[in-house]
Structure 1
Amino acid sequence: MSPLKVLIVDDEPLARARLARQLQDLDECELLGEAGEAESALEQVQRLDPDLVLLDIEMPGRSGLELAETLSGMAAPPAIIFCTAHDEFALPAFATAAVGYLLKPVAGEQLAAAIRRARSLSKPQLKAASTTDTPADTVGRRQIKAVSRRGVELLPVASVRCFVADSKYVVAHHAGGETILDESLKELESEFGDRFVRVHRNALVAVAFISGLQRDGANYRVLLDGVEERPQVSRRLLSGVKSLIEEMA
């Protein structure tokens, strides 16, 4: 697997140095460069074509949010993980191509988890997730906000393979791992029903990632590209799921 090419953008030299040290511990990452303000960062993005930008928000001149909006408009935008000391910017970050929102001081394990999520997205997926104008046949948010002990996470809907209800929570399974959401399956189905199909009372699966059906004793499970999770298909919905897969073949 080729290393993820990373650019660090932060006006504080100590913050850049901390992130650079943490990246050295991650074999799957290659540090391309550093920038202390937005204009220099934009020039380096255009010249070096990084896969990922670790971006501060409050900087002299153009803010990180303004830079992120510019990057989101590129033909093949890099993934963006915000690294900031301020949690009040989480909602504005929804309008950008951000795949992570980490609070300083950034812990190494939190950075590693956010980078795993970023790696799960291709640049075309990031472009689709960050497009300003929502296509007419697409309903709902481009990203879902999840708040956990690790901070605020912005999960691109385009990366989700399935939503599975577990007790009082819903778990989103994606190529970067699992994310717990404080939303009901019914709410998610109502919002994203154009891209996800219900296969069980406790599961929605992304139509684009369905790769087949697998027999499991008397039951069937849906196979999904990029994750090990195999949601069970209820008997009531089985014929509809089979028909959908036949249409996709």
Structure 2
Amino acid sequence: MIELGVLIVDDEPLARARLARQLGKLEHCELLGEAADAVEALEQVERLDPDLVLLDIEMPGDNGLQLARRLSQMDSPPALIFCTAHDEFALPAFATAAVGYLLKPVSAADLAAAVDKAVQLNRSQRKLAGLPATPTVPAAARRRIHAVSRLGVELLDVGEIRCFIADSKYVVAHHGRGETVLDESLRDLEAEFAGLFVRVHRGALVAAQHVRALHREEGGYRVELDGVGVRPAVSRRMLGQVKALLAEMA
């Protein structure tokens, strides 16, 4: 069973090739892609949604520590294992919540141990994020959301909202009457409405009780919701949870 999708970020092709060979011998891992710098890495993280990033520190442009800080600010960030030739960066590296710090040349045993730790964390995260069969609104959560637009103040009943989709600096709430732009973050909405809305992708939360079907389309899976035409993308690492939710609601 594949449990971790992995992205390798290193500006040295030989270092990437060595890590790729070692990963190929480990269970529970799938190499999703490679990147040579921070810009390419960010694009790959958004597109591939990896569970784990193997990250060098010294690279052209933003270094690995700077990239790690940017990744940590994302909703549902991947786990990080630093793979570097420099031992002096260990303290700031672990300040980014890295799960491992390996010195080059990385040994197969050290990589396996660090990856195993990431696997255990991933299992724990999935367990904590288990999807309930009968979602309820948390007692402290709002029943209505205030949205300010050119038309004035709009009140959205939370029960009408089918999904929240991240769009640049804003979040778009999709409901039966259309779309409404919110000046809120997915992370805050997920925390407030835990149990009612569930994450299916780094950029999408859906109303659990309105999930109707899961469709495999070109480029991946999308979830069908009643009452709206939008079909949010489902990331590879959230796919199992969405399938479990549909099974419980059947």
What's the TM-score, normalizing by structure 2? 0.49
RCO comparison, higher one (Cα < 8 Å, 6+): 2
What's the TM-score, normalizing by structure 1? 0.49
